[in-house]
Amino acid sequence: MNQQMMQNLTLFDLLARSWRRSSAVAALCFSADDSTVAFTSVDGTVAIAAVADQEPPESRIRVSGDLGQTTIRPREKPPVPLIASAAFGDGDPPLVAYLRSGFLVGTAAGEAVHLTAGGEVAETLVKIEGPIVAIDHSARTAVTAVSDGHDVFLSRNRGDVARLERNVTSSTHAVAFSPGGRRLACGLGNGLSIWAVEGPASLIRDFSLPARPISIRWSGDGTWLACGLETGGFGLISPADGLTAVVAGFPSPVRAVCWSAPANALLASGAFRIAGWSMTAPPLDGETAGALETGRAGLVLVETVAAHPQKKLVAAGYTNGRITVAQIGGRDELVIRPLGGGIAVLAWSSDGRHLAAGMVNGTAAIITFPVQMFK
């Protein structure tokens, strides 16, 4: 490889393993043990990649003896191919981590199936009438929640399915267990309902929002909920005291929200820079309360965000394919990928060594960082 080609390589070229799927990647999920990543595509298929890197960056780093300059050579081998499934329905199937290295996938036939790390359907855990459009599973309580778009069903044992008895009929396209698994948040038309599910399911409280929630994320300690809205920003909810706020003014729908425990911060997509707030001053009384200027403002929208699990860092994916990692509350950012297919989704492994990315052009990728990259 000549010197000119070396100079044109990006960090993505040097650190990422990437694969091209037949259609856009819509979602991704690390397994519970971080050994695999599942990528869903809009053609209804799921593709599984092994996280272990056959050419880890540490094996390709060289430090020159005279100047002490650190360089990394490109990969020499193509990545191990993805393991692809058959289609589970039309559109991207919902999925969640299950057991150690597998996943639960919701199908158009109304089944929640266990997909192994080897791409095989091992068993069906839940069966309902109608397609499954949302799914979540709590490993702590071994409870699975699914939605057909109207009703929500809970399963504590294989074949034991109970419907939540609600007084209203409304669409439900998002469900999320609290970190401890004892509460379940469900989208409720233009609102949200929270249920106690430790014993017989019972409604705790309904919350009204100005638009339909398209994503629900609990904070790590379970004290807050953030909901990206179909229009009009995102909602912030404190289940314990019933406080609700809407942070509006975004130029684009907030498709992703995430929590950073190390920075005690909430971050969101949908703006021309990474939007962030310190939870020491939650944005309950105004959008500027606790605002954290993170990364650099530009002319391209942030499509997705993912907070590093152990450091005060956040990764951002842009509509033009740009991927950056920024210090939360700081303007400096590391450009991983300057351009390419628009970024649909990002997620970190639990140890923060790997950043998985899914793109609208069908590219699926795992970016593996050297240990010394983020000190």
The residues with which 72 forms a beta bridge, in sequence order, are 61
> According to the model, what pLDDT value does residue 5 have?
41
pLDDT, tens digit, for every residue of 273-309? 999 999 998 988 766 778 999 999 999 999 999 999 9
The owner of tokens 């191919």 is: 81
CA nearest to 18, candidates 324, 372, 361: 361
Q: Which two tokens stand for residue 198?
A: 């430790």
Q: Looking at the whole model, is its pTM more than 0.85?
A: yes
> According to the model, what pLDDT value does residue 329 have?
96
- What string of pLDDT tens digits covers the 375 residues of the chain? 444 445 589 999 999 999 999 999 999 999 999 999 999 999 999 999 999 999 999 999 988 767 668 889 999 999 999 999 999 999 999 999 999 999 999 999 999 999 999 999 999 999 999 999 999 999 999 999 999 999 999 999 776 899 998 766 678 899 999 999 999 999 988 999 999 998 899 999 999 999 999 999 999 999 999 999 998 899 999 999 999 999 999 999 999 999 999 999 999 999 999 999 999 989 887 667 789 999 999 999 999 999 999 999 999 999 999 999 999 999 999 999 999 999 999 999 999 999 999 999 999 999 999 988 887
Dihedral sign from CA coordinates of 197, 35, 28, 16: positive
